[in-house]
Amino acid sequence: MTTTITLTGAGGQIGYALLFRIAAGDMLGPDEKVRLRLLEIPQGLGAAEGAALELQDGAFDLLEHVEVTDDPAVGFDGTDLALLVGARPRGPGMERGDLLAANAGIFGPQGAAIAANAAPGVRVTVVGNPANTNALIAAASADGVPAERFSALTRLDENRARAQLAQILGAPVSTISRVPIWGNHSATQFPDVSHATVGGAPVMEALRAFVDDVPDWLDSIFIPRVAKRGAEIIQVRGSSSVASAANATIEHVRDWVRGTDDWTSAAVASHGEYGVPEGLISSFPVTSVDGEWRIVEGLEVSDWARQRIDASVAELLEERDTVRGLGLL
Ligand code: NAX
């Protein structure tokens, strides 16, 4: 079988880290051939064309074809998986509203181009920030494509949270499970350890051996560390997260297409679960079954968790209202 994959922002940093792993079979497995469409804006075409030449030189067995374009109709033609990574970064003096508007100008037309050109079962993963609201705009612009086919990346946040827990508990990260991210992929996100396990045992109990006051540690150290990890990487590395973001994108798409054994996190369209207003693209604990994300329902949510979920969801509502107010939704 061959899957057609469109990557926007293919000339950018995350694009460069993603392409070779996709071609090597890390995303869809060793038996699935891939056809890549690299969609850029004119200024990014050179970098995308360079990446295409290197893909050729990689002589990947699974890579059938690579095409570079700045035309969304060509880029999304017959695509099965659209990875929307390219976005407008916040420039100097840009207000939040300007940023949302600039990105609505990208993700609205891309949503429409997906509806007009993509394969009937297309799945769209939004990485470019502000990811949740960009996904909302793309989905709203994609007439005839169900909102369930759109999701935004919060897997990097979850991976960061699991890694932090592994570090303090002195346990392999592979033994840490069920650490969902709720809400927005932003500083208001809520990495939730209430249901987390380490080697099958509750993390909340395990933490007591390492931390005096667990709720205080969660509030003052863990949650801010996870939520601001992107800024920490920029400070230390001098550039934003790239390989870890590409890795999370690979895992997100792999799980969506091939299914999960346990919970993970993804920002998906709410149908009102956990009081999140219907239609918002909010991060939830999810599983993937038969190629569809399913929100894990029936979890107990403490008052403490409720407040944090509500705060992040309020930010998502604000973003939606700003975009609506500008007539872009
Ligand atoms: P770069 O600036 O390196 O690359 C972005 C690329 O997108 C550029 O080549 C640009 O020409 C292209 N582009 C811009 N508008 C486009 C359009 N309309 N169509 C096609 N291509 C377009 O950024 P990079 O480091 O690769 O990051 C990409 C995006 O990921 C950013 O928005 C970033 O904020 C976001 N991130 C999201 C994360 C998440 O967890 N959801 C984590 C990592 C990352 O911060």
What are the chain's domains? 3-153 (3.40.50.720), 155-324 (3.90.110.10)
Q: What angle do CA 220, 310, 282 make, to 5 degrees?
A: 105
Share of the chain above pLDDT 70, in %: 100
| Under 8 Å between Cβ of 173 and 166 | yes
Confidence grade of residue 328 (pLDDT, cut at 50, 70, 90): confident
Indicate if ligand 1 lies below 6 Å from the C-beta of 39: yes
pLDDT of residue 158: 98
Ligand 1 atom nearest to CA at 11: 9
Following CA atoms 95, 100, 104, 110 in sequence, which dihedral angle do they give, to the nearest 10 degrees? 110
- Which of 7, 39, 41, 234 for mutating ligand 1's site (highest number of atoms within 8 Å of CB)? 41
Ligand 1 atom nearest to CA at 127: 41
Mean pLDDT of 27-33: 97
Instruction: Using the predicted structure, report yes or no on whether residue 261 has a pLDDT greater than 90.
Output: yes
Active site residue 252: no
Distance of CA 69 to the CA centre of its chain: 23
Q: Buried b vs exposed e over 221-252: b needs ≥16 C-beta within 10 Å?
A: ebbeebbebbeebeeeeeeebbebbbbbbbbb
Listed in order, strand segments (DSSP E) in 174-260 are: 176-177, 181-182, 190-191, 197-198, 201-202
Question: What spacing in Å lies between the alpha carbon of 12 and ligand 1's midpoint?
Answer: 6
Beta bridge partners of 152: 126, 267
Smallest CA separation from ligand 1 atom 9, residue: 12
| Under 8 Å between Cβ of 133 and 315 | no
**3-state class of 277 per DSSP?**
coil
Whether the ipTM is more than 0.95: the answer is yes
pTM: 0.98
Mean pLDDT of the chain: 97
Tokens found for residue 277: 């207003």
